[in-house]
Amino acid sequence: MKDEDDRPQQDGSREQKLLALVDHTLRDLQPEAPAMPPARLDSSLDRDLALDSLARMELLLRAERAFGVSLPAETLQRAETVRDLLIAIEQAPSASAERDRPVPAAAAGPTPPNDDEKVQASALATATTLLEVLDWHVQAHPQQLQSILVTEESEQRLGYGELAAGARAVAAALQQAGVEPGQTVAIMLPTSLAYFHCYFGILLMGAIPVPIYPPTRASQLEDHVLRHAGILANAEAVLLITVPEAMVVGRLLQARVPGLRRLATPEQLAAPADGLRPVDIRGEDTAFIQYTSGSTGNPKGVVLSHANLLANIRAMQQVLAASPSDVFVSWLPLYHDMGLIGAFLGSLYVGLPLVVMSPLTFLAKPDRWLWAIHRYRGTLSAAPNFAYELCLKRIEPTALEGLDLSRWRLAFNGAEAVSPDTLKRFVERFAPYGLKQEAVTPVYGLAEASVGLLFPPLGRGPLIDCIGREPLALEHRALPTAEEDEGAQRFVSCGAPLPGYAIRIVDEAGQEVGERIEGRLEFKGPSATRGYCRNKEATADLFHDGWLDTGDRAYVAAGEVYLTGRVKDMVIRGGRNLYPQEIEEAVAAVEGVRKGGVAVFGSPDPATGTERLVVLAETRLEGGSALGRLRQAVVSAVLGVLGEPPDEVVLAPPHTVLKTSSGKVRRAASRNLYLQGRIGKAAPTAWLQLLRLSLGSAALWLRRLGGQLAGVAFALHAVLMLGLLAPPVWLATLATSSPTAAWRLGGRGARLLLRLTGIPFRVEGLERLPSAPCVLVCNHASYLDGLLLVAALPRPYAFVAKRELRAQFVAGRYLKKLGVAFVERFEVRRSVEDANRMTELVKGGRSLLVFPEGTFVARPGLLPFHLGGFLAAAGASVPVVPVSIRGSRWVLPAKCWLPRHGALEVEVGVPLPPRQEDEEVFAAAVRLRQAARACIAQQLATTEREGG
């Protein structure tokens, strides 16, 4: 009985020891790679841990030494998971009488029984991807409510199990549609449960979601199409998911985005989930691209990984003390970071219900937002400042009878400048309905930080700082002053950085400034983006010595951060810094000015060398006298704020001021409208816009058709040249008597083929090739790679190729003449024997040429490198020479037999030092593999056409 009682403890110790051994081996194999998630018993040695046959052999040898057992040879072939290896260890005969000492358990502390929230927090803290978070909820409580979609007529409920099932159906359909992992899929959907299915379905099959907003008004059709065509082209989206009503817009976008192959509705993306092919998703993989408000010609897509999002969500959860007992109520758009990350993904991670409604529902009747908080006992909700202002202006007292907001513990105000007056009036207006002052919570974030950056302490309420206007405008000093002082300027604190984040304020020279000195706000943190999608210039401008520029101005006082305005929106007139938000608020309060229809911006004045202050205000008034009085009232309002008048007041009809999809004023775009003289001009009718877009799309289609015809002509010419050259070269090669002669003949034929097809071909670094035996390792991107190496290299190298080619009549005979070394890829024991044979070949004076990736795929990027060639180099103590091929993936990608015209390059890198006498073979192989991969990746990053 004692042995039986002890056995579970021994088994547990053995399990922990094996997992630790696997983790240690992985770190030895990838010493420079980012930290990987800890191995689990069900981790696949191939798929999850990326251990090739030689790496598995090393793991088995270490396991034998660590556990004092002798593993049977078939373990190398049969063990597919860590659990299989554990079973083999338990069943193996002991190589020593000494038993292993138990490994101490991790010091995580006991989890109190029946404490579901602590169990959940512990489990989710180790998740590395959003998919793992969803999987945990599905396993723990598949029927638990995840979200409720509230419409005017009804409500729809979604559980975690249903969300996962819908995501699998979407993922399977996307795979059937030909979407590959790493490609981008755009989501142009209104708020719906289908949005959640599509988002996770795209993630599940390894693609990248790109949320964009659906079209709203017909009058803005042209602007919508032009802006989003730039976004989709920059993202290189291959598929667009939208509703049937937006298919016309989808087709106009498709005509302008060459790579956008297909449009689909959510209903069309529902394939049987049993056909879904699993894809390995890691924390560093992109979880979505958030496009910030920008111009049509230079869209900025913030690239955010699973690790970024989880780090930000966890930090916010910690500060907000969010738990599954909370309820989040949101009308925020799901194409916006505050709605997608803050509301949806944040709620999903914590495991709290999300009540979601359409933004259009809120805009039509703002009281529905407050009644949803009442009805569903909401505790968390967020909105931009304009939403709180809308509630103050549009909700009648009669619509609030019986409203209870007492459970609303955090009312976040963010995503745009926070108005002190709005905060005060909102609390005063809704305090009788249970709203607590400390619930009103100004926050600050930006897409480049995922979503959140600054949060105030819980339970404090808004903190407002009154400072003198002149010191700030002229000297950037935020000097305190009394609120009643003339010229006092008020700013709202957004709190302090989230745990694990840091901020600094810098001046124009990039030097950090002291307390109460205004400057640019920069930050660091675990959720910071790695840059903008395919926009190197904007990415370079974003980073300053490792800090990210927010584009906002701020100052710090007593540890609190106060935002003063956007850098690009600030108007500098006569040496004074003027802040548009404050002026816009004052002008918007003038009777006759349309609320939310004011834009203040600077206009260059060459005569004075400074900027003119322009106020653009919308109004419904007509007639010279009425407009004259309104203009004078606007001037008086600006005088009251600044003490001096604006240079120009432009009164315009409604909908002149341009705004983003989230309702923010686009000051730069409105300024361009003013400079182009288009203020007051009626927008073209929807039919005219549609006609112009259609004509433009037709012209683009004709140009693209011409390019496609030229591409087909080139492909047919290249295939014809290959058909004429290949047979005589093949026959002549069979008649050669040595690999040297075969190589020389093949090189001449390959170079002639490239000349006849007009493909530019350049070779660099041949002088770096050692005269003594070595191992050349090269990236693999296309079937062209072997031909290019034969054309480039002056003497024969023993290609290392898969064993299956040996039996082929055409390829096999040709490769044998070149002296190719055939190796096994699938049968593990033979692949180890082949690795030993490669070592002997090198020791015997042969030089090898290896594609360490083993295969190639259509998408850019290096695949993991196998150890075989590096072990051969380490065993024979010869140098490894990294070689990079550029352009071949473009000219002839995977799964394609018609080539495209493009430049091809082969570059020979600097040889890597061979293994030293005192260096272990395995360690040397790992070192050589890491160094070679880094060298090739650097060479490809500089000029690789397809980005891989």
In this structure, the answer to whether residues 75 and 125 fall within a common structural domain is: no
What domain range is 74 assigned to?
2-91
Residues 674 and 724 in one domain: no
Query: Same domain for 797 and 913?
Result: yes
Quick one: average pLDDT of 145-161? 92
Say yes or no: 154 and 263 in one domain: yes
pLDDT digits (tens, 9 = 90+) for 363-382: 888 999 999 999 999 999 99
Give the pLDDT band (50/70/90) at residue 304: very high
Q: Is residue 487 part of a domain?
A: no
Q: Are residues 803 and 908 in the same domain?
A: yes
Same domain, 738 and 624: no
Q: Is residue 816 part of a domain?
A: yes
Give the percent of the chain with pLDDT over 70: 87
Domain C-terminal end among 91, 112, 143: 91
Q: Give 663's contacts (C-beta < 8 A, 6+ positions apart).
A: 384, 386, 416, 596
DSSP per position, 676-744: TT-TTPPPPPHHHHHHHHHHHHHHHHHHHHHHHHHHHHHHHHHHHHHHHHHHHHHHHHHT-SSHHHHHH
pLDDT at 319 over 70: yes
Is residue 51's pLDDT more than 50?
A: yes
896 inside domain: yes
**pLDDT at position 834, please?**
65
Q: CB-side exposure of 737: number of CA atoms within 13 Å?
A: 0
Quote the pLDDT of residue 668: 77
User: Residues 291, 145: one domain?
Assistant: yes
Domains in the chain, number: 4
The reply to whether 729 falls in a domain is yes
Q: Are 798 and 841 a contacting pair, CB within 8 Å?
A: yes
Which of 660, 683, 706 corresponds to the end of one domain?
Answer: 683
Per the domain annotation, does 194 fall within a domain? yes
Percent of the chain with pLDDT over 90: 44
CATH of the domain at 60: 1.10.1200.10
Residue 65 shares a structural domain with residue 126: no
Tokens of 606: 């060459």
pLDDT in tens, 610-661: 678 889 998 888 888 888 889 899 998 888 877 778 888 999 888 788 876 5
In the listed set 638, 667, 683, which residue is the last one of a domain according to the structure?
A: 683
For the cut 50, the answer to whether the pLDDT of residue 295 exceeds it is no
How confident is residue 910, by pLDDT bands cut at 50, 70 and 90?
A: very high
Domain of 856, CATH number, reads 3.40.1130.10
Asked if residue 754 and residue 605 are part of one domain, the reply reads: no
Distant-in-sequence, close-in-space partners of 283: CB < 8 Å, separation ≥ 6: 34, 37, 128, 129, 305, 306, 307, 310
pLDDT at site 9: 39
pLDDT of 447:
92
In the three-class reduction of DSSP (H, G, I as helix; E, B as strand; rest coil), residue 752 is classed as helix
Q: Which of 426, 422, 384 lies closest to 408, judged by CA?
A: 426
CATH of the domain at 228: 3.40.50.12780
Render pLDDT for 860-905 as a digit per residue (tens, 0 to 9).
778 889 888 898 899 899 999 999 999 999 899 887 888 999 999 9
Look at residue 825 and tell me if it is in a domain.
Answer: yes
Same domain? 719 vs 626: no
> Where is pLDDT greater, at 488 or 479?
479
Task: Give the pLDDT confidence of 66-112 residue by residue, as tens digits.
Answer: 888 877 756 665 677 888 888 888 887 765 433 333 323 322 222 33
In a domain, 784, yes or no: yes
Q: Is the pLDDT of residue 405 over 70?
A: yes
Q: What tokens does 474 get? A: 């002229």
* Whether 152 and 240 share a structural domain: yes
Which residues on neighbouring strands pair with residue 477, listed in sequence order?
A: 517
The verdict on 151 and 33 lying in the same domain is no
Please report, for the domain that includes residue 611, its CATH number: 3.30.300.30
- Give a yes or no: residue 471 inside a domain: no
Count of Cβ atoms closer than 10 Å to residue 359 Cβ: 23
Question: Looking at residues 569-574, what average pLDDT do you find?
Answer: 73
More confident of the two residues 892 and 603: 892
